[in-house]
A and B are shown apart, each in its own frame.
Chain A
Amino acid sequence: MATKGKDAQSSLPDPQAQTESTAALLRELVAHLRQNRTQLREEWARRITRAQLLTAMTEEEIFAEATSVYDNYVEALETGTFEALQAYARNLSERIIPRGVETHEVVGIVLLLRDVLARSLFAKYHEDFDKLNRILDAYEPAANRIANTVAVGFVQERERIIRQQQEAIRELSTPVLQVRERLLILPIIGVIDPQRARQLTEQLLRAIRTNRAKVVVIDITGVAAMDSNVANHLVQTVEASRLLGATVIVTGLSPEIAQTLVTIGVDLSEMATVGDLQGGIEEAERLLGYKVVPLEELTPKA
C-alpha cells in the first residue's frame, strides 16, 4: 500500500510530542484520511468485494455507499459526535435490510474500513514508532465506537422492523367475521402463543356481544400444533362463550392436533367439534334454523 504525505510527518522532539493532545492527533489523523480519501476508499471497496460481503449489491452501489460511509466515518472522527453517524446508520439500514443484507456483513465492512485505515497509519508512521502508538491510542477508541454505533444502529433497525411486523401479524391474525345474522366465524391461522390466545378470546367475547351472536364457528385448520395450555385456553373460550349464550363449534382439527389433545388428556367433552369449516357452518345454520337449498328446488316445476 503506497502512502504519500511523508512530508506531513513531523519529527517533533519527544517532550513536546507527549503534550500533544488526543484532539490534535485526531486532527492530524483526519487530515491524513481526507488527503488519501480516494485511494483508501478504493482499497476498502476492493476489500469488501474480495471478502464477498454485500453480495446483494452491485459494485457501483457498494462504491457509492462506501464513499458516504467513509465520509461519515471521518466526520465522526473529526467532530467526536456520533449523532450524524447514528442517523446515517439508521438510514443505511433502512435501505439495505430489505435487500437481504445480513448483520455480519455490516459489521464486517465497518471492521474492514478500520483495518484499511489502520494499515495506512502503519505505513505513514512506521518510521516513528512512538508517534504511531499515540496516533493509534487516539484512533482505536474512536474507531471502535464508530463500529459499535453502526452495528447497533443496524440491529436496532432490524428489531424495529421485526416488532412492526409482529404487530401487523397480531392485528391481522384474529378477524372475527359475521357470515349470517347471529353466526360468527373465527378462522385461526398460525401459531397460537398464550398472548395471542388471550387476545383471541377477548376479541371473540366482545364480538359475541356486539353482533349478538348465537353460534360461533372456530376454525383451526390453519393451526399446525397445539399444546396443553392453548388447548385448555380453547376449552375456556368455549365455556366463556356459553356463559354469554353462544354455542361454539370447533372445526378443522388436524389429525396431529386430535392426537395431541387425546394424549395430553384435555377434556373436550364440552366442546362441539365438526370435521371441516363447511360442516361447521352447516351445523351452525341448523342450530339457527336456516336451511340452504338450491334455487331450482324453490321454483315450482312447470
Chain B
Amino acid sequence: MEVPILKQGHYLIASIQSALTDADLSQLREALIERVGRFRARGVIVDVTALDVMDSFAVRTLRDIAHMARLRGAETVIVGIQPEVAFAMVQLGLTLKGVSTALDLEEGLAFLNVQTQLRIERGGPGRIDRG
C-alpha cells in the first residue's frame, strides 16, 4: 500500500495508515527523499500513530529517511509512536538514535517550526542537534 505524502507549507507529511511491507517502506523512503528535493522541503514528518508493531527494518528505514533527508537539507521528525511500541523498540535495542521524535503531528510541526527557525537564524542549512 502506498503511503500518501502531503505537502504542507515547507513540510512534507507522510502518514502511515496500516502495516507496511518492506517493499512499501523502501518505496516510501525513495518517494520522500525525491520530494524533499522537488518541493524544497525544510522538514519531514512521518506519522506512525497507526502502527502497533515496529520491526527492525521499519526502524532502520525511518532512521535512513531522517539521515538522508538531513543530507538533502530537511529535518525529520517521527511522530505518534505508541507507548507499547516505544517500550518494545527499546527492549529490542531499536532506539532511533539521532532521530528526532515527537508525541503527535501537532508537536512535530511545532518542533520543526523551532528547528527551521534556528537554521534560518544561523544562516544556511546544517545539521542541528536537539541537545
Contacts and interface: CB of A to CB of B under 8 A. Distances in A.
Interface stretch (A52-60, A155-163, A186-194, A204-212): A204-212
Query: Interface centre among B78, B90, B101, by most A CB within 10 Å?
Result: B90
B70 to A, nearest CB: 18
Nearest to B87: A240
B103 A236 contact: no
B91 A236 contact: yes
Given A202-B87, A209-B83, A236-B87, A242 B103 contact: no
A201 interface: yes
B101 A236 contact: no
Interface string B48-91: 00000000000000000000000000000011010111110111
B101 A205 contact: no
Interface string A10-42: 000000000000000000000000000000000
A239 interface: yes
Contact of A208 (B78, B89, B91, B103): B103
B117 to A, nearest CB: 14
B3 interface: no
B83 A236 contact: no
B19 interface: no
Chain B interface size range: 20 to 34
Contacts of A208: 83, 103
A76 interface: no
Contact of B101 (A201, A206, A243): A243
B14 interface: no
Given A239-B90, A240-B90, A245 B107 contact: yes
Interface in A203-243: 205-206, 208-209, 212, 214, 236-237, 239-243
B95 A244 contact: no
B103 A201 contact: no
Contacts of A243: 78, 81, 85-86, 89-90, 95-96, 101
A212 B103 contact: yes
B103 A205 contact: no
Query: Interface centre among B86, B101, B103, by most A CB within 10 Å?
Result: B86
Contacts of A201: 87
B20 interface: no
B5 interface: no
A236 B111 CA distance: 23
8 contacts: A205-B83, A205-B84, A205-B86, A209-B103, A240-B86, A243-B96, A244-B86, A245-B101
Interface of A: 201-202, 205-206, 208-209, 212, 214, 236-237, 239-246
Interface of B: 78-79, 81, 83-87, 89-91, 95-96, 101-104, 107-108, 111
Pick the 3 closest A-B CB pairs, nearest first.
A205-B83, A245-B102, A243-B86
